[in-house]
Chain A
Amino acid sequence: MSLLATPRDAGYRSGPDRARNGAGRGIRRGEAAAGWLFMLPVLVILGVFLLVPVLMALWVSFSDWSGRGSPLSSGVGFVGLDNYAAVTTGGGLAERDFGIALRNNTWYVLLVVPLQTALALFLAVLVNRAVLRGRGVFRTAFYFPSVTSSVAITVLWLFLFSTSGVVNTVLARVGIAGPNWFNDPSGVLHNLLGALGLRTGPDALTQHGFLGVTWWDWLAGPSVAMSAFVLMAIFTTSGTFMLLFVAGLQNIAPEVEEAAMVDGAGAWQRFWRITLPQLKPTLFTVLTLGLIGCWQVFDQIYTGTQGGPGKTTLTPAYLSYQSAFLSQDWGQGAAIAFILFVIIVLLTILQRWILRERPDVPRRARRGGPNPHPNPDRTTEADR
């Protein structure tokens, strides 16, 4: 219909006019239908492959579905929060496994997220310097691990960190007896404390616990095996985040930096007070992506250790798979997945709150400054 409209009509219809006419009349009335038509493929694909499966998984987490036939069939009963209770307060093996998985993944996140962000930023600053020769080569080299399949990298890592592998050989050269990386379940912090003579924790820590794991075991730190995975995550993802930081750095107007130079700021000061604050939106993106990726770690575990040694590389994502597919506890598997989802959302909100724009910061003027980078914080404030 709109094809028949004159250009003048189309050009001069204004917003309020449209609102008054309502959706059903006027020359633009066909547009909504056309819009829906064009959106249909995406809606169908998202619906079939994302929304419906997520809703079904949510239902499974509240049901006693046993893995045979459809979860929506009439034989499947609603059991309320039973599955969630089994993994959080059940007192049995399921609760302890979930506690161990959370412990492992918490240490993994605590180490990987800050370290990979710092390394990515460091690399970005390095390759962003105009004076560096062969910048392209370095960028490609740093980015290379990110485009390699995580399964391939895991296999590589298993070889590198085997008992008689390259890493231990190099360590032996400098006189260090390397650990038995992927077979060593001992916690790094426990080992450090052990070296100081503290081998068993105080009763206050060993007698009480959370999710079936004593506080002393929560404080074990990542196992030696998990540390190898930590190193791998830092190695593989730093390149990706370096790219984001490079993009952010190139959006920073050089004038601001020059102004700071004129004011007599040194390189270190300029980085902390000029560059880093302007990278805040990028930092938020990197931290959020890093946080989400780290809590969902699965393929390394699946191809590498399957949770061993001593369950110290068990993660909630892998535990969810294991409960559902291997132990036929589909409800518990789905429940773990949704608890993980809540954890990720809460932590992202927390991190967003920490990185929020503080109104009392005196350098407000830079809001109007040349920063074309989309700022998530600002968008929220506008929406509110």
Chain B
Amino acid sequence: MTRPISRHLAGAGAVLVAGALVLTGCGGSGFADEPAAQDDAAADSLTSSDDPLSILIGSSGDAETDAVTEAVAAWSEESGVDAEVQVASDLPQQLSQGFAAGSPPDLFYLAPEAIAGYADNGSLQAYGDLLANKDDFYPSLVENFTVDDTFYCAPKDFSTLGLVINTQLWEDAGLTDADVPTTWDELSDVAKTLTTDDQVGLSFGAEYQRVGTFMAQAGGGLVVDGAPAADSAGSVEGLEYVQSHLEDGTFAYAADLGAGWGGEALGKGLAAMVIEGNWVTGALTNDFPDIEYTVAELPAGPAGPGTLQFTNCWGMAADSPNQEAALSLVEHLTSAEQQLAFSEAFGPMPSSQSAAADWTSANPDLTAFLDGAAYAQFPPNWAGTTDVITDLNSQLESLRSGDVATILGTAQSNLEAIAE
């Protein structure tokens, strides 16, 4: 008889408890606080306080962690502001949590595809125009981090894609330095020469981030001059070129060779050439120290040379209590001298033009990567781009048997839906 009553009581109690929790537990911790409104005009009113800085990075390994920690510690000693570097295990998730809780890290690695989402909800502090070394960055990198005509954050470094060649397999096939391909036709020829029963001529990952170079070389791309161009004639021509060689077996996706990525395919001798970026040098040294390789610029297509660039920036949180110190730290971390030290420690190229000469003399074998900076394309940084590229990649995996026009048509309509 008493059961229904006690049930009602339990229900009421649970609601009461929950309500009390919402009111007490959550009210005090800034849950109900309105995020401070930030607009572009307020960019020169950075916050300032004595609070220590927290820096969240997505590290590629100990080398990168140590280098960043060391650089931040040096700045800390000089400026007297405490700063702590944390390595994220899942950067996007940890950032999102920080923004939602109102306690984000002051500075963090930020990828171009994530910038629009965070900029739209006001999580980011735009500080690009306040940088003393603003004019030293490559223009294409600045453009990569510009949303709605606001230069948000300083590019921390960058990489481009090049043609990485296994020297041994190259010579075994009777090829010389003079045979390094500079056009699509030459690429087709050497790929055919290099293809044997055990290896393919050229390999790369089944993704826009590699295949897109061919679209760029034919004058296409996902976005050209600010407008979606996924189904332009150039894009179609680029993909059809790739498709024809996937069919004749002189090109192959790394996954189809049983390799996780291009570098592994090259290291295992499954492919004589791969399309990879600066990171390949460190990976080959670690995993395949015996492999000898040379790096060349990607061959030019019918519309000239083309490659893709990849970069991250130092994002600054709008909720950071000590943005002035953070700005000073970014200037330190992106100085030519510091970027050269980073480059030596873990690979990517300095985003400062003034560091180019020093970098070239320190890395004479890798200049092809830096030369690519002059004409590199980059994926759009619109909100929702990640989904579009993921969708495109899912179709590129079956490019060999797929229909190029359909694949690019889908990408085009997806891009138009998010175009700004």
Q: Which residues of A contact B (CB under 8 A)?
A: 15, 19, 36, 39-40, 43-44, 46-48, 51-52, 55, 66-75, 92-94, 96-97, 162-164, 180, 183, 185-186, 307-312, 324-328
User: With A19-B1, A67-B100, A328-B117 given, is the CB distance from A52 to B394 under 8 Å?
Assistant: no
Q: Which chain A residue lies CB-closest to B318?
A: A68
A97–B35 alpha-carbon span in the complex (Å):
32
Bound state CA distance, A92 and B14, in angstroms?
40
Known contacts A325-B93, A326-B386: A66-B31 contact under CB 8 Å: no
The reply on B96 being an interface residue by CB < 8 A is: yes
B255 touches A183 (CB 8 A): yes
Residue of B13, B34, B96 near A328 (CB, 8 A) is B96
**A100 shortest CB reach to chain B, Å:** 9
Q: Please name all residues of chain B whose beta carbon is closer than 8 Å to the beta carbon of A326 when the two chains form the complex.
A: 92, 114, 386
Stretch in contact with the other chain, from B15-23, B166-174, B221-229: B15-23
Q: Are the C-beta atoms of A69 and B387 separated by less than 8 Å? A: no
User: CA–CA, A319 to B397, complex, Å?
Assistant: 20
For the complex of A and B, the 5 pairs showing the least CB-CB separation, nearest first, are A163-B258, A66-B121, A328-B117, A69-B35, A183-B255
Q: Which residues of A contact B397 (CB under 8 A)?
A: 183, 185, 308-310
B residues in contact with A44, CB < 8 Å: 17, 21
Closest residue to B385 on the A side, CB-wise?
A327
**B residues in contact with A73, CB < 8 Å:** 31-35
With both beta carbons as reference points, the residue of chain A lying nearest to B122 in the complex is identified as: A68
Q: How far is the CB of A48 from chain B (nearest CB, A)?
A: 6
- Known contacts A68-B122, A74-B34; decide if A311 and B390 are in contact (CB<8 Å): yes
Q: Is the interface of B mostly helix, strand, loop or mixed?
A: helix
B102 interface residue (CB < 8 Å to A): yes
Cβ B22 vs Cβ A52 within 8 A? yes
Residues of B within 8 A of A36 (CB): 13
Chain B: CB-nearest residue to A158:
B260
Q: Within 8 Å of chain A (Cβ to Cβ): is B158?
A: no
In the assembled complex, the CB of A175 is this many whole angstroms from the nearest CB of chain B, namely 19
- CB pair A310–B395 under 8 Å, yes or no, is yes
Knowing A36-B13, A52-B21, A73-B33, say if A67 contacts B96 (CB, 8 Å).
yes
Q: Are A19 and B96 in contact (CB under 8 A)?
A: no
* B391–A67 CB distance below 8 A: no
Contact of A72 among B18, B32, B92, B256 (CB under 8 A): B32
Asked whether A311 and B394 contact (CB < 8 A) given A69-B33, A93-B414, the answer is yes
- Determine which of B122, B386, B417 lies in contact with A327 in the assembled complex, contact meaning CB atoms within 8 Å: B386
- Which of chain B's residues 262-301 have a Cβ closer than 8 Å to chain A? none
- Contacting residue for A185 out of B26, B114, B398, CB 8 A: B398
Q: Are B414 and A43 in contact (CB under 8 A)?
A: no
In Å, the complex CA distance between A163 and B35 comes to 50
**Assembly CA distance A328 to B34 (angstroms):** 19
Query: Which residue of chain B lies nearest to A312 when distances are taken between CB atoms in the complex?
Result: B394
CA distance A51 to B14 in the complex (A): 9
Distance from B62 Cβ to chain A, minimum over Cβ atoms (Å): 21
Closest to A19 in B: B1
Q: Which residues of A contact B22 (CB under 8 A)?
A: 52, 72
Residues 85-113 of chain B, each 1 if its beta carbon lies under 8 Å from chain A, else 0: 00000001100100110100000000000
Complex Cα spacing A43 to B11, Å: 11
Task: Decide if B2 is an interface residue (CB 8 Å cutoff).
Answer: yes
Q: How far is the CB of A119 from chain B (nearest CB, A)?
A: 30
CA distance A325 to B117 in the complex (A): 10
CB closest chain-B residue, reference A185:
B397
**Sampled A-B contacts (26; CB under 8 Å):** A43-B13, A47-B14, A47-B17, A48-B21, A67-B99, A67-B123, A68-B100, A69-B35, A70-B32, A72-B26, A72-B32, A73-B31, A73-B32, A93-B417, A97-B387, A97-B391, A180-B256, A183-B206, A308-B394, A309-B206, A309-B397, A310-B398, A325-B96, A327-B384, A327-B386, A328-B383
**How far apart sit A254 and B123, CA to CA, in the bound complex (Å)?**
67
Could you tell me the distance in whole angstroms from the C-beta of A342 to the nearest C-beta in chain B?
Answer: 22
Given A52-B22, A55-B18; A70-B33 close (CB under 8 Å): yes
